[in-house]
């Protein structure tokens, strides 16, 4: 048995799938590609599949990680080709490798956020340079007020033709922030902001040393 990890992208039409949808899609794609993944024991066996960081619906990503176990001791030469042919439009596997560390070692995650509409990029940059930018954040235990900047390790904001492009580096694990809160914060604190449409793309996941997290 091999303990493996996939690196894959979610783009275009596939971004509308939920986290659970994606798991089911992989299960069936493995079956279609005739890749022998390990199943759990028990009355209702299902393949052991685990996605490192759930991706919110309508987000794209170029750095998704899926853990699974392979029944055989070697990975076929055509593994990536076979799997990609079995996946629906918008999910593309880039590489497969043996996994060593657990996904809990991911500490940072970066996103590109493209906002269309009226947005003052200088005011946005200034806003996140200070501390104590409070917003209401929802979590499993209810809503509470938090300082957004506690979650932000880096942020840049550039003007674009239709609005602004933000690149953010956020903490994850014990302290996770959905990047939608960045836009909410801007809407709350930067006057005259009028954002019509936002698209999100997860760009990289990092370990504590800020190295891209892979195996």
Partner 1 sequence: MLSKFLPRVRKPARYCGGEYGSVVKARSSVELRVAFCFPDVYEVGMSHLGMKILYSLYNSLPYVWCERCFAPWPDMEELMRENNIPLFGLESRDSIRDFDCVAFTIQYELCYTNILNMLDLAGLPVKSKDRDNSCPLVIAGGPCTCNPEPIADFIDLFVIGEGEEVSVELMELMKQGKQEDITKSELLRRASELEGVYVPSMYTVLYNDDGTVKSVTPSGDAKNIITKRIITDFDNVYYPDSFVVPSTEVIHDRVMVEVQRGCIRGCRFCQAGHTYRPIREKKAATLARQAKTLAENTGYEEISLTSLSTSDYKQLKELVDELIDWCRERHISIALPSQRADNFSMELMQRLQAVRRTGLTFAPEAGTQRLRDVINKNITEQDLLNACAIAFRAGYNSVKLYFMIGLPTETDEDLEGIATLAQKVLYTWRESSVKKTRGVTITIGTASFVPKPGTPFQWCAQDSLEELKRKQSFLVSKMKIKNVTFNYHDAEVSHLEGVMARGDRKISDVIELAWRKGVRFDAWDEHFRPSFWRECFAEANLDMNFYACREREKDEVFPWEHIYNGVTREHLRKEYDRAMEGIVSPDCRTECSMCGAMELLGGGMCDA
Count of residues that bind partner 1 according to CB under 8 A: 32
- Work out whether 177 is an interface residue with partner 1 (CB under 8 A): no
The answer to whether the CB of 15 falls within 8 A of the CB of 58 is yes
Which 7-26 residues touch partner 1, going by CB under 8 A? 12-14, 16-18, 20-21, 24-25
The answer to whether the CB of 96 falls within 8 A of the CB of 80 is yes
Nearer to partner 1, 44 or 141 (CB): 44
DSSP string covering 155-207, please? EEEEE-SSEEEEEEEEE-TTS---THHHHHHHHHHSTT-EEEEEEEEEEEEE-
- Work out whether 44 is an interface residue with partner 1 (CB under 8 A): yes
- Work out whether 90 is an interface residue with partner 1 (CB under 8 A): yes
Nearer to partner 1, 13 or 104 (CB): 13
- Work out whether 138 is an interface residue with partner 1 (CB under 8 A): no
Nearer to partner 1, 90 or 173 (CB): 90
The answer to whether the CB of 214 falls within 8 A of the CB of 7 is yes
Rounded distance, CA 111 to CA 39, Å?
33
- Work out whether 89 is an interface residue with partner 1 (CB under 8 A): yes
- Work out whether 72 is an interface residue with partner 1 (CB under 8 A): no
Residues interacting with partner 1, by CB under 8 A? 12-14, 16-18, 20-21, 24-25, 27-32, 34, 39, 43-47, 57-58, 86-90, 197, 199
């Amino acid at each position: 048995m091999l303990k493996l990890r996939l690196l894959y992208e979610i783009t275009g039409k596939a971004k509308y799938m939920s986290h659970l949808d994606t798991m089911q899609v992989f299960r069936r794609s493995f079956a279609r590609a005739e890749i022998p993944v390990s199943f759990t024991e028990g009355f209702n066996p299902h393949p052991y599949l685990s996605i490192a960081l759930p991706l919110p619906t309508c987000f794209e990503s170029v750095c998704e990680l899926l853990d699974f176990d392979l029944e055989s001791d070697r990975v076929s030469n055509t593994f990536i080709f076979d799997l990609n042919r079995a996946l629906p439009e918008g999910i593309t596997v880039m590489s497969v490798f043996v996994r060593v560390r657990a996904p809990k070692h991911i500490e940072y995650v970066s996103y590109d956020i493209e906002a269309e509409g009226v947005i003052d990029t200088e005011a946005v940059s200034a806003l996140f340079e200070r501390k104590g930018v409070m917003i209401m954040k929802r979590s499993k235990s209810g809503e509470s007020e938090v300082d957004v900047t506690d979650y932000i390790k880096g942020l840049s904001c550039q003007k674009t033709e239709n609005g602004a492009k933000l690149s953010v580096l956020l903490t994850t694990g014990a302290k996770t922030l959905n990047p939608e809160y960045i836009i909410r914060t801007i809407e709350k604190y930067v006057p005259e902001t009028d954002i019509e449409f936002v698209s999100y793309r997860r760009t990289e996941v990092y370990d504590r040393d800020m190295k891209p997290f892979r195996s």
